[in-house]
Amino acid sequence: MKPIGKVISWINTGASGIAGILVLLMVAHVSADVAMRYVFEKPLDSTILYVSAFYMVAIAFLPLGLVEERNSHIAVELMVENFPDKLQAFLLFIATLITASVTAGVAVRTGQEALAKYLTGAYSIESGGKVITWPTYFFLPIGFGMMSLVSTWKVIALITGKESGLSGLVIEDPYFTKEEPNV
Amino acid sequence: KENLNFAYGYPNTSAIGIAVDEYAAAVAERSDGEIDIKGFAMSLLSLPETSPGVRDGLADVGFVLTPYYAAEYSTNLFLHEMNLLINLAENPTGKEPLAFTGAMLEYTFNDCPECMAEFKAQNQVYTGGGVTPLYNLLCKDVKITSVEELKGKRLRAGGAGFVRFAEQFGAQGVRLPVNEVYEALDQGILDCAMLSAPELTNYNLHEVVTDITLGVPGGAFAGVASANINADRWKAMSTEDRQTLLWGGSNITAGVTWGFYEDDAKAIQNAKDKGINIFQPEPELTTAVKEFVNQDLETVSALFKETYGVDRAAEIAADFPALLEKWYGLVADIENKEQLQQLYWDQVISKVDAATYGQ
Amino acid sequence: MSDLEIAGLFIGALFFLILMRIPIGVSLIAVSFGGLWSMFNWNIAWGSLGIVPYNFANSWVLSSIPAFLLMGFICYHTRLTQGLFSAAQVWLSGLPGGLAIASVFGCAGFAAVTGSSVACSAAMGKIAVPEMMRNRYSAELATGTVAAAGTIGALIPPSILMILYGIIARQSVSQLFLGGLVVGVITLLAYVLLIIVRVKLNPNLAPPVEGNKASRSEKIKALGQTWPVLLIVIGVFAGLFGGAFTPTEAGAIGALLSMMVAALYRTLTFKAVRMALVETITTTAALLIIAVGASLLTRFLALSGIGDALSSSILAFGVSPVLIMFGVVLVYLVLGMMLEPVGAMLLTLPIVMPLVEETGYSLLWFGVVLVKLLEIGMITPPMGMNVFVIKGVVGNMASLTTIFRGVFWFVVVDLVIVAMLIAFPDIVLFLPNWAG
Ligand code: NA
Ligand code: NA
């Protein structure tokens, strides 16, 4: 069990690492565009396209697996937290199962779309010429696919009663030293 | 009885919303209530979602803008890029967009099998087009009537061609979504926006714009398929219903184009009433714009052939001007939407065979 | 079953799934998919999954959200925020709930820089909430205050919602901005008053912090520690009003500035940046999957014909203008529970605008009231985007339930404000009328 869980965590770390770097690049890119326009009167080419199609799509979807791994998807505990433990455990199982199947469906569908875009070679016409956009469509199947993989793995761990081996990146807080495990 | 959902990514109060309502009413009347069209303004599909949305059946009919999908609609887009020809009209009458619409409609239906194939590949059936009025310079606290005054200005550019235009004249082409133009002009991030006059009202720009230069950069937006129908729905319809919807295509094409044409005159008058300065470009600027157009049409032809895979680019570029000239003559006496629709119907769409089209 | 009944059934299913602790984003996607499938067919439902997620995230305007989040997280992880709140402690400790009041003012300040309330909550959440919790404020008050105060972000200009409304309803954006400014300031003052009253009645909510008897020199010294955050805020303001960048670009500039100031402050470590980035991307992804789901739900509801049903049920309230407005308010409160504001606006405006015109209220007035209503929706359960932002930002320090409890009294105050605006429309209109 554990080695596979580790591999999943490792992929998630990689995907999120890319998303993290893209956040920095996005900030740098927009700032550079502002500076070039305001100070040097020579704006960068196609900033809006890069920000919306490349950075935003990647930042929105690549980390989905990590979010699932850290149990950070937003859910309402209002009712469930008062239920008996056994019922809570059962509901957790159901919730994870639903998450796994729904995200698997979205991954397949967005994967089909990405493949179609790859086959047509989707691009945007910009003043500097052609900017290839089809790769941005692949961020979705990767993100939703990882989210589905993580929750499937959790389901398997819940059924077998073994440890999943998923680690999740731990955030250290500069003020509060200890992070409580989620869920 | 056919119930069709029509998705368009504009407000229901816009020229397009009004054209869609009129289209729905006209189609209902002509089919004796057999075809019921329900419009969805913005809520069902956004502008970029409309093409794939009609493809997958989320809407049965959609107002599709081809530039969002350059790879899928490269030939259609090339026709749109011909819009710069408008600037070369010998004796401009203001009706150039009406003529351009007709020329584009005729070319798309009759002479452009690639265009048809592109729509078919997206599971759509093309039934109509539409063109905006001429692009102007809508400026705040800046007056631009000469080549010299264009230098160093920050101009909002909607597409690649406008960026080339700005660069040609030593200005900056700033790409900004049209929604953000208001704030950007107000704050001084932009000196001017290259937009058609009706956008003054559509985006409330008349509150911030102080100076308008007409016909610079010129050109119009023609990358419009105003009533694309889901091909599966189309094939399942009776020939009679298809015939009615093709006729509807002439209605919405005229509705959109005439609506914009009228709005243009209204918006400019309204701007005058609000005390906004309206300028004509100096002759040397007009000449320079024409020079740019001639040069850019060649650039565009080469670009579409080599980079965007439109093999027939040179041929299309050679054929199109004559067609446009013919249409300049045809629209000369048009005075209302009904006449315009009749013209589009008689000249082009009535000749389309509803039994075989889009199969 | 009619389409409307299907819609009702699936909305019920949505509430059930959410209450059973299924992640909200997943619930929304599942319900919209199931709804489209049963109302139409598999192709349409399946197609929607391929279209909406990509096109929703592919957005220039949304990019300010991760950018403002990064700014907030950088400020926090590099400890830039410490000084600001020590100063607030020293200066406002005399007031009950001084830190909470300081957060409300902070949010209002950020509101003038950003156009959306999510961006506003994102920027302030990490700065203010942990500081309040360290000072033993109740988690409810700390989180609720910032979630609610974030709603001022779309009221005080610039405001994406008002620009969008102006376009759809053909109303003057600058007049809408003026009306929004008034309502934003009223909201600000009402929130401050609410905090003071609540803490007076229950001092445990916000125990008075030490430093009550700070001397004048200590007070001035504390001010000296506020420079890092002030530098960032002033930089962003100056650039925005100096015509250097747009409200959308302000987020990126703010994030860059916060890193530069942290470098000056000598706390910009690799670790701090890495932590801030991880928090930024996980919070963004967790929020956007919900927004994508809400956007899918809007399509389902649009196709179900709920619009026509809404207008007839509003009209059923009677012909008196005030009663019709009452119906409109109710509809938006209900829609605000489930939809995100842009979706709710696009879905309803074509139906509601003619109704408003019939009542004799002006569309300008309605635009401002509408934004206020949509913003209330941002903090009402089960779908409250601002609350989710705060949840994303505070992690395990507070549960979603706690935050929703925390906003309760703010929502009550908001409703009082809305009632006032309906009773006295001139509150909204006097400034636009006077200026225009
Ligand atoms: Na704001
Ligand atoms: Na809500």
Q: Give tens-digit pLDDT for C201-223.
A: 998 898 876 655 677 787 888 88
How many Å apart are CA B205 and CA B222, to the nearest integer?
Answer: 22
Report the alpha-carbon distance of residue B278 to residue B256 in Å, rounded: 25
Q: Among C100, C64, C75, which residue's Cα sits nearest to residue C410?
A: C100
The pLDDT assigned to B38 comes to 94
Task: Give the mean pLDDT of C230-240.
Answer: 83
Count of beta carbons in the 10 Å neighbourhood of residue C9: 15
Q: How far is A171 from chain C (nearest CA, A)?
A: 6
Report the domain count for chain C.
1
In Å, what is the CA distance from B348 to each residue of B256, B284, B333, C51?
Answer: 17, 38, 18, 33
Measured between alpha carbons, how far is C242 from C257 in angstroms, rounded to an integer?
Answer: 16
Amino acid found at A140: L
Burial C368-380 (b: 16+ CB within 10 A, else e): bbbbbbbbbbbbb
**At a CB cut-off of 8 Å and minimum separation 6, what does C368 contact?**
C155, C162, C176, C179, C180, C182, C183, C421, C428
Give per-residue pLDDT as tens, C170-200: 787 778 888 999 999 999 999 999 999 999 9
Strand order in the sheet with B135-139: B172-174, B154-156, B192-196, B135-139, B211-213, B277-279
Alpha helices, DSSP H, located in B281-336 = 283-306, 313-331
CA angle A99, A79, C330 (to 5 degrees): 95
pLDDT at A177 (0 to 100):
44
Helix (H, G, I), strand (E, B) or coil at A183: coil
Task: With H, G, I as helix, E, B as strand and everything else as coil, classify residue B11.
Answer: coil
Short-list C152, C133, C159, C65, CA closest to C389: C65
Greatest alpha-carbon pair distance for chain B in Å reads 61
pLDDT value at position C436?
62
Residue C314 has pLDDT above 60, yes or no: yes
Residues of chain C in contact with residue B187, where contact means CB-CB under 8 angstroms, are 240-241, 243, 246
Domain-embedded: residue C118 = yes
pLDDT confidence of residue C247: 78
Give residue C209's pLDDT: 67
Q: What is the pLDDT of residue A182?
A: 37
The mean-pLDDT minimum among A36-45, B64-73, C34-43 falls in A36-45
Q: Which two tokens stand for residue C148?
A: 């609610």
**A161, two tokens:** 């009663």
Q: How far is the CA of C156 from the centre of ligand 1 (A)?
A: 5
Compute the distance between CA of residue B79 and CA of residue B115 in angstroms, rounded to an integer.
9
* pLDDT-above-90 percentage for chain A: 59
CB atoms < 10 A from the CB of A88, how many? 16
Distance (Å, whole) CA B218 – CA B134: 5
Instruction: Grade residue C81 by pLDDT with cuts at 50, 70 and 90.
Output: confident
B229 in helix, strand or coil? strand
In three-state secondary structure terms, B156 is: strand
Residues facing B174 on adjacent strands:
B156
A179 band by pLDDT with thresholds 50, 70 and 90: very low
| Cα angle value B205/B209/B213 (rounded, 5°) | 115
Q: Which of A22, A70, A76 to mutate to test the interface with C (most CBs of C within 10 A)?
A: A76
Report how far residue A57's alpha carbon sits from residue C56's, in angstroms, rounded to the nearest whole number: 9
**Subunits close to C (at least 3 CB pairs below 8 A):** A, B
Q: What is the DSSP letter of A174?
A: S
- Distance linking the first and last C-alpha atoms of chain C: 52
- Helix H or strand E encompassing B224: strand B224-230
- Domain residues for A84? 2-160
For B94, the token pair is: 């203001």
C167, C172, C173, C174 alpha-carbon torsion, rounded to 10°: 170
What is the rounded CA–CA span in Å between residue A63 and residue B178?
A: 31
- Residue B173, SS3? strand
Q: Nearest-CA neighbor of A126 among B132, C167, B157? A: B157
CB neighbours of C36 closer than 8 A, spacing ≥ 6?
A: C44, C45, C48, C299, C300, C303
Q: Mention every residue, 6+ apart, whose C-beta is less than 8 A from residue B47.
A: B9, B10, B65, B68
Does B151 reach chain A within 8 Å, measured CB to CB? no
Measured distance CA(B176)–CA(B184) in Å, rounded: 9
For C98-250, where are the E strands, in sequence order? Answer: none
Q: Which of residues 392-411 of C touch A (CB under 8 A)?
A: 392, 395-397, 399-401, 404
Of C47, C173, C245, the CB nearest to B57: C47
- Chain B interface, best mutation among C167, C335, C353, by max B CB count within 10 A: C167
**pLDDT at residue B336, rounded to an integer:** 95
| Average pLDDT score over chain C | 86
> What total of structural domains would you count in chain A?
1
Query: What is the reported pLDDT for A181?
Result: 39
A30 Cα to the center of ligand 1, angstroms: 20
- Contact between C87 and C223 under an 8 Å Cβ cutoff? The reply is yes
Query: Where is pLDDT greater, at A32 or A165?
Result: A32
d(CA A154, CA C285) in angstroms, rounded, equals: 20
Distance CA(B207)–CA(B256), nearest Å, equals: 25
Q: Is residue A143 a part of any domain in this protein? A: yes
Residue A129 lies in a domain: yes
B89 CB contacts (<8 Å, ≥6 apart)?
Answer: B96, B328
Amino acid at B97: P
At residue A169, the pLDDT reads 64
Residue found by looking up tokens 């700014």 in the block: C71
- Closest ligand to C-alpha of residue C338 is 2
Q: Which two tokens stand for residue A83?
A: 């239920």
**Burial (0-12, 13-18, 19+ Cβ within 10 Å), C200:** exposed
For chain B, 359 residues long, give each residue's pLDDT as a single digit of tens.
Answer: 899 999 999 888 888 999 999 999 999 999 999 999 999 988 899 999 999 999 999 999 999 999 989 899 999 999 999 998 999 988 888 899 999 999 999 999 999 999 999 999 999 999 999 999 999 999 999 999 999 999 888 899 887 888 888 888 988 888 888 878 888 888 888 899 999 999 898 888 888 999 999 988 989 999 999 999 999 999 999 999 999 999 999 999 999 999 999 999 999 999 999 999 999 999 999 999 999 999 999 999 999 999 898 999 999 999 999 999 999 999 999 999 999 999 999 999 999 999 999 98
Measured between alpha carbons, how far is C5 from A174 in angstroms, rounded to an integer?
Answer: 52
Inter-residue contact C338 to C14 (CB < 8 Å)? yes
Instruction: Name chain B contacts of A124, Cβ cutoff 8 Å.
Output: 70
Quickly list DSSP for B15-72: HHHHHHHHHHHHHHHHTTTSEEEEEEESSS--HHHHHHHHHTTSSSEEEEEGGGGTTT
Per the CB < 8 Å rule, is A47 touching B69?
A: no
Give the residue from chain B lying closest to A34, CA to CA: B189
Tokens at C211, concatenated: 């430093």
pLDDT band at C166; cut points 50, 70, 90:
confident
Interface probe with B: pick from A120, A125, A130, most Cβ of B within 10 Å: A125
ipTM reported for the complex, 2 dp: 0.92
Give the DSSP letter of residue A147: H
Asked if residue C27 is part of any domain, the answer here is: no
Q: Does C57 touch chain A (CB under 8 A)?
A: yes
Q: What are phi and psi of C331, to 5 degrees?
A: -60, -45
The predicted-structure confidence for C125-156, as pLDDT tens digits, reads as follows 877 888 888 888 999 999 999 999 999 988 98
Phi and psi of C236, rounded to 5°?
Answer: -65, -45
Q: How far is C41 from chain B (nearest CA, A)?
A: 9
Proportion of chain A above pLDDT 70, given as a percent: 91
Closest ligand to Cα C383: 2
Best-predicted range by mean pLDDT (B150-154, B159-163, C387-391, C416-420) = C416-420
Cα separation, C347 vs C370, whole angstroms: 13
Q: Smallest Cα–Cα separation from A63: which of C255, C69, B172? A: C69
In-domain check, residue C7: no
Q: What's residue A183's pLDDT?
A: 34
Q: Does residue A175 surpass a pLDDT of 70? A: no
| CA–CA distance, C432 with C434 (Å, rounded to integer) | 5
Q: Is pLDDT of C277 > 90?
A: yes
**pLDDT given for residue B344 in this prediction:** 97
Over the stretch A127-160, which tens digit does the pLDDT of each residue have? Answer: 777 889 999 999 999 999 999 999 999 999 988 8
What pLDDT band is residue A180 in, cutting at 50, 70 and 90? very low
Q: Is residue A91 part of a domain?
A: yes
Q: Where are the alpha helices (DSSP H) in chain A?
A: 2-38, 47-49, 57-61, 64-69, 85-120, 139-160
Whether B204 sits inside 8 A of C172 (CB atoms) is: yes
What's the gap in Å between the CA of C50 and the closest CA on chain B? 9
Does residue A177 lie in a domain region? Answer: no
Q: Does C214 reside within a domain?
A: yes
- What average pLDDT does the segment C290-298 reach? 87
**C372 min Cα distance to partner chain B (Å):** 20
Phi/psi class of residue A171: alpha, beta or left (left: φ > 0; alpha: ψ in -120 to 50)?
Answer: beta
- B247-B248-B252 Cα angle (round to 5): 125
Q: Which pTM does this prediction carry? A: 0.89
Query: Is A66 inside any structural domain?
Result: yes
Q: Which of residues 358-387 of C touch A (CB under 8 A)?
A: 381-382
Q: Which domain holds residue C125?
A: 61-268+305-435
Q: Identify the pLDDT of residue B7.
A: 95
* Beta-carbon-side half-sphere exposure of residue C42 (alpha carbons within 13 Å): 2
CA distance C18 to A75: 7
Any domain includes A182: no
Q: What is the DSSP letter of A40?
A: S
- How many Cβ atoms from other residues are within 10 Å of residue A163's Cβ? 10
